[in-house]
Amino acid sequence: MAGVWFRVMPPEPVQNKPFSGNPGPKNMPLRNASPLQYFLLFFNLNLIREVVRQTNRPDSKIRPLIDHFNRVATYFYTPDRNICVDESLIGTRGRTAMLQYIPSKAAKFGVKFWVLAESTTGYVAHLKCYLGKKFTPTSNLLQGTEVVLRLLKNRNLLQKGYHVVCDSFFCSFDIARKLIDLNTYLTGTLRSNRKMPLTIRNAHVGPGESVYVRQGEILAAAYRGRESKKPVRMISTFINAANSNGKPKIIQHYNMNMGGVDGADMMLHFYNDNRKSTKVWKKLAINIIHRMCSNAYILYRKNTSDAPVKSRLRFIQEVIEALSSEYLVGKDQPVRGVRQTRRDIAIQHIQGRKEKDCVACSDRATGQRRRSRTQCTRCLKGLHFGCLKKHLCVEE
């Protein structure tokens, strides 16, 4: 490799690395806004009309959805300094030119997204769908290098002192040098077949031992945690050579900030409806809408004045109830959510997925026991929507 590498011993002097970002929510609604207003920051009728108009490439039906997601994700939030880049596989076996096979993933077959997310919250700042080799122009750069540069450029995060954390697929000395020139820092793992100093490639380190070398602003390290493990090779332009609790700080920083994308995917699957569909675009569209709702909840937690803050489950329930109520009222149909009746009586869902005997139609004495997940707001007795007129609280 070009240039001279110097052996360094920890601890290195701490360097001041400037950061010009302004993290946190922006362009928010009022602090007493409802969950629906947060969700509508990302999803509205203009988006649906744009989806209908677009056609052509393999991602033609979801491209307006992705473009809209990226646009509003940028408008409403500025990520913190530590961000991560990773791939996300949306599992499907439908027929599409975008289908990928990744045996290390749980789904194995699916459509791949390149994802840029905030490390601490999992807020997805930018998405890009991988269309496959047929529709992706070739370049002289490594694929991982090109993906990271494109995501940062599209999100306008270059020249601001951001710190990018990524795994061995994206990380190389080539991208580290390019990002240094763009005032952006990098930390990540290295594959053994990538170019690196021989001191790191052939490092003979025992359990709990580490070795560092530096070339300018690039620090390379090798570390072995246990005898049964192979050495881990890493590079960073952000972390100095130092150990903490017997482990290099570069390892600890990577473990702390690499899980943004995986954490966002995990949050999606907690409340995913898992609808089966042979139409690939439907599967992708539902996944993106789930990401919209997840981002909306992150904005809600950072901006709301509610005390206590609603749980993510309750947030999603209120978004669904508000959307369905607006639709059913427009169709002159009964609303299935919280319903106002005579004398300001309302029927509400029972918290905690509990059930009660319906006070109007259930009779344990005769063995006709009927359970309800809703209750009267006045007497807090179980009550079905259909039994509302039979209830004593609303009789004249």
pLDDT tens digits in sequence order for the chain, 396 residues long: 567 888 888 888 888 888 888 899 999 999 999 999 999 899 888 888 777 766 567 888 888 999 999 999 999 999 999 999 999 999 888 888 889 998 988 888 999 999 999 999 999 999 999 988 887 777 888 889 999 999 999 999 999 999 999 999 999 999 999 999 999 999 999 998 888 888 898 888 888 888 999 999 999 999 998 888 889 999 999 999 998 888 899 999 999 999 899 999 888 888 877 777 888 999 999 999 999 999 999 999 999 998 889 999 999 988 988 888 766 766 666 555 444 444 456 778 888 778 888 888 888 777 788 888 888 877 888 888 778 777 766 443
Architecture of the domain whose range is 6-303: Alpha-Beta Complex (3.90)
- The full set of domain ranges for the chain reads 6-303, 341-394
User: What is the end-to-end Cα distance of the chain in Å, rounded?
Assistant: 89
